[in-house]
Structure 1
Amino acid sequence: MKLGKRISGLREQKQITQGELAQIIGVTRAALSHYENDRRLPDYNTLMKIAKYFSVSVEYVIEGDNTTQIHG
């Protein structure tokens, strides 16, 4: 699974919109859409914000390795 699919999957699990997540992590909705559609890669600080919000590791967001998922 690609990074964009993981981000959108995490967002859909929380049942929040792109606009809501974009506001939480400090990017535009358009930028988040680009991330979710694998047209652009988020920078490391944005990856950290995404991981923190969803209580997962940055490695999980990037690689999708279930062993690095943090349960909180």
Structure 2
Amino acid sequence: MRLKELREEKGLTQKQAAKYLSIQQQTYQRYERGRREPRIDMLIKLADYFDVSVDYLIGHEKTPNHVE
């Protein structure tokens, strides 16, 4: 998953991202490190937050194709 890359592009901390997503920082950190897989509803929320498609987020697409 491309979470760390996307978060850093926005200049955010893990704590800020977790707060927006209403999850614990530790949970978000596990998503970034690949130690935990987000459920589909969280994948959609993450994609919306970072303005990318779910396919890009999970590495299925090579370009961001920002959501309009």
Q: Give the TM-score, by structure 1 length.
A: 0.83
* Structure 1 residue runs of 4 or more that deviate by more than 3 Å after TM superposition: none
CA-to-aligned-CA distance 1:14-69 (integer Å, 9 cap, x gap): 00000100011121100011011111001111111110011100111112513462
> Cα gap change, 1:44/1:56 in structure 2, threshold over 3 Å: closer, same or farther?
same
Q: Is 1:50 the equivalent of 2:46?
A: yes
Alpha-carbon distance in structure 1 between the residues aligned to 2:19 and 2:60: 24
More helix as a share of residues: 1
How many residue pairs end up in the alignment?
A: 68
Q: Percent identity?
A: 35
**Root mean square deviation of aligned Cα:** 1.6
Q: Give the TM-score, by structure 2 length.
A: 0.88
